[in-house]
Chain A
Amino acid sequence: DIQLTQSPSSMSASLGDRVSLTCQSSQGIGNYLSWYQHKPGKPPKPMIYYATNLADGVPSRFSGSRSGSDYSLTISSLESEDTAIYYCLQYDEYPYTFGAGTKLELK
């Protein structure tokens, strides 16, 4: 199975900070990677798909990028509503696999 390694596992940042979360794939997956935001008591929300495409309704402060097998989710200016666990998911090869998540909190 393809392993996705997310880093950091948790982090805290201040309002207005630029935040970058990373997901590294154990093998090539092209751009078949998506990001999800998960808050307690709610279903996961899609943020980014095909590595760099913003999902419907997602604020423009979110962006996705790729450098080789490293994928990043960046928040340009952190807002309080962005606190959540963020997961990456690869859908290039079966079984589709998730990273372990990054828990993002406010400092």
Chain B
Amino acid sequence: EVQLQESGPGLVKPSQSLSLTCSVTGYSITSNYWGWIRKFPGNKMEWMGYISYSGSTSYNPSLKSRISITRDTSKNQFFLQLNSVTTEDTATYYCARWEGYSGPFDYWGQGVMVTVSS
């Protein structure tokens, strides 16, 4: 069974970096696409980006140069780093697997709530 689990700090100070890990079991991250999606208070959802099976990445331009998604294939993990956070980055962060154009984001982590506050 494919399982994803996010981990990372639940509280980050403004101007600092937010770093999250998504640990995947039951499937290799060297296949398919692996993304980060967040849900803000008030229910808006935002696709942040993904890392592909080959290690290539695609990011939401709204995040400009603040975002980086990387991976460690030996640990079957991928990572989100978001720099220079503000209170507007307070959200629940989800990692998810995407099959590509042939399917949906089909497996999701439980989500981790991150609050940006001093």
- Would B44 and A100 count as touching, CB distance under 8 A? yes
* Nearest CB on B from A62, distance (A): 13
User: Once the chains bind, are A43 and B47 in contact (CB under 8 Å)?
Assistant: no
- Contact string, B25-48, partner A, CB cutoff 8 A, digits 1/0? 000000000000101000111110
- Contact sample, A vs B, 27 pairs, CB 8 Å cutoff: A36-B104, A38-B39, A42-B110, A43-B96, A43-B110, A44-B94, A44-B96, A45-B108, A46-B104, A46-B105, A48-B104, A49-B103, A50-B101, A55-B103, A55-B104, A55-B106, A56-B106, A89-B47, A89-B105, A94-B58, A95-B59, A96-B60, A97-B47, A100-B43, A101-B43, A101-B44, A101-B45
Q: Does any Cβ of B come within 8 Å of A19's Cβ? A: no
Q: Would B43 and A96 count as touching, CB distance under 8 A?
A: no
A residues whose Cβ falls under 8 Å from a Cβ of B: 32, 34, 36, 38, 42-46, 48-50, 55-56, 85, 87, 89, 91, 94-98, 100-101
CB of B62 within 8 Å of the partner chain: yes
Q: Which positions in B face A, CB cutoff 8 Å?
A: 37, 39, 43-47, 58-62, 94, 96, 98, 101-106, 108-111
Q: Nearest 3 pairs between A and B by C-beta? A: A43-B108, A46-B104, A49-B104
Q: Which residue of A lies closest to B35 (CB)?
A: A96
Whether A98 contacts B45 by the Cβ 8 Å rule is yes
Chain B's closest residue to A100 (CB) is B44
Given contacts A89-B47, A98-B45, A98-B46, contact A43 B61 (CB under 8 A): no
Q: How far is the CB of A26 from chain B (nearest CB, A)?
A: 16
With both chains docked as a complex, state the minimum distance between the C-beta of B26 and any C-beta of chain A, in angstroms: 15
Minimal beta-carbon separation of A38 from chain B (angstroms): 8
Give every chain B residue within 8 A of A55 (Cβ-Cβ): 103-104, 106
A32 in contact with B94 (CB, 8 Å): no
* CB closest residue in chain A, given B4: A43
Q: Complex Cα distance A45/B43, Å? A: 15
